[in-house]
Amino acid sequence: MRLATVEGPTGPIIIAERDGQLVHLHDADTRLPRSLVDILAAWPDIRPEVEQAAQRAAPLHAPPVRWYAPIPSPQKIICIGLNYADHAAETGASIPEEPVVFCKFATTVIGHLEPIELPRESRQVDYEAELVVVIGKGGRHIRAEDAWNHVAGLTCGHDVSARDWQKGKPGGQWLLGKSFDTFAPMGPFLVTADEFTPPIELDIRMTVSGQVLQDSNTRQLIFTIEELIAYLSQVVTLRPGDVLFTGTPPGVGMARKPPRFLKAGDVAQVSIERIGTLENPVISADND
Ligand code: ZN
């Protein structure tokens, strides 16, 4: 199923895509949980009710006025660095022997079509197309062979990165460089895990203002989704709605000659096969 969170008449609502039309799930079944996190926590047991609601619900009268990220306020936003061998090479890093893990603050999250704000404090804001995994059933010490059962679904993500903060500050401020407000667009749809069978081999592309700047396939991941879930859950309890950015393929702006950073007026599109296209305009925060 394809599920999303959008603005409704009195706040966020959950919609599904049915035969190319958008339908409001609670129209058809008011007993369903009100948030996508609560639905995913009950997945896959709740799937039949959600599917029946999607079949019965009437289409939306008009396109959504606002798309939220599928999980608008995740408890954790866990990100993996250097998870494509050729991206590690282009940044001058060696291929990691264990996953390189960092986080973003929840205030980075924005939805489809919402603007990425270029902060006054950075001159090197870069783009990164990423496959994002949304956790369903939580757990600790999850084995790789069981890990796919803990995946609720997949969505498109953009790991926006201020390189002058990530690399140019004492100690390398990955957390801050990756955590300016609006630096984690996600969506528009979460596609449920039952639509896929591992290994996950999906074409992934970043297009900025019409120019394809990253073009790869998730089969190139050094650490697979299942290996990442097993690795991370050694340390933290994963919970429903936690999101995992799985790393970016080569072609980032910093590694280009000359470098190609995001500028006001750009439109960034992350496209992933069978999931969709996440589009965000880029604006300058200088005019507030
Ligand atoms: Zn990244």
Q: Are 38 and 224 in contact, with CB atoms under 8 Å apart? A: no
Q: How confident is the model at residue 172 (pLDDT cuts 50, 70, 90)?
A: confident
Residue with the two structure tokens 């926590």: 41
Q: How far is the CA of 116 from the centre of ligand 1 (A)?
A: 16
Q: How far is the CA of 247 from the centre of ligand 1 (A)?
A: 5
Taking the CA atoms of 191, 186, 241 and 154 in sequence, report the sign of the dihedral they define: positive
**Selected residue with higher pLDDT from 288 and 112:** 112
Quick one: average pLDDT of 166-194?
Answer: 94
Mean pLDDT of the chain: 95
- Residue 211, pLDDT above cutoff 70: yes
Strands (E), 125-248: 125-126, 129-135, 151-158, 161-162, 184-192, 203-208, 211-217, 243-245
Q: How far is the CA of 177 from the centre of ligand 1 (A)?
A: 11
- H/E stretch holding 178 reads none
Nearest CA among 74, 58, 75, 72 for reference residue 15: 58
- Residue 288, pLDDT above cutoff 80: no
Contacting residues for 17 by C-beta, under 8 A, at least 6 apart: 2, 4, 23, 189
Quick one: average pLDDT of 222-226?
Answer: 97
Q: How far is the CA of 220 from the centre of ligand 1 (A)?
A: 14
Q: How far is the CA of 31 from the centre of ligand 1 (A)?
A: 38
DSSP conformation letters of 41-65: HTTTTTHHHHHHHHHHSPBPSS--S
Measured CA to CA in angstroms, residue 279 lies from 18, 93, 143, 236, 257 at distances of 21, 29, 35, 31, 25
Separation between Cα atoms, residue 265 and residue 169, nearest integer Å: 28
Q: Are 279 and 158 in contact, with CB atoms under 8 Å apart? A: no
- Residue 287, pLDDT above cutoff 80: no
Nearest CA among 276, 277, 280 for reference residue 266: 280
Q: How confident is the model at residue 93 (pLDDT cuts 50, 70, 90)?
A: confident
Contacting residues for 172 by C-beta, under 8 A, at least 6 apart: 166
pTM of this structure: 0.96
Ion ligand 1: residues, CB < 5 A:
128, 159, 248
Q: How far is the CA of 130 from the centre of ligand 1 (A)?
A: 7
Report pLDDT digits (tens) over 134-153. Answer: 999 999 999 999 999 999 99
Measured CA to CA in angstroms, residue 258 lies from 123, 129, 252, 253, 278 at distances of 14, 20, 11, 9, 26
Q: How far is the CA of 159 from the centre of ligand 1 (A)?
A: 5
Strand partners of residue 151: 135
Domains and CATH numbers, the chain: 2-56 (no CATH), 77-284 (3.90.850.10)
Q: Check residue 91 and give its pLDDT.
A: 84
Nearest CA among 86, 125, 85 for reference residue 251: 86
Q: How far is the CA of 267 from the centre of ligand 1 (A)?
A: 18
What is the share, in percent, of the chain residues with pLDDT greater than 90? 88
Report pLDDT digits (tens) over 124-136. Answer: 999 999 999 999 9
Q: How far is the CA of 213 from the centre of ligand 1 (A)?
A: 15
Taking the CA atoms of 134, 138, 141 and 144 in sequence, report the sign of the dihedral they define: negative
Q: How far is the CA of 128 from the centre of ligand 1 (A)?
A: 6
Q: How far is the CA of 71 from the centre of ligand 1 (A)?
A: 18
Q: Check residue 216 and give its pLDDT.
A: 96
Q: How confident is the model at residue 85 (pLDDT cuts 50, 70, 90)?
A: confident
CA 5, chain centre distance (Å): 14
- Two structure tokens written together for 186: 């996600």
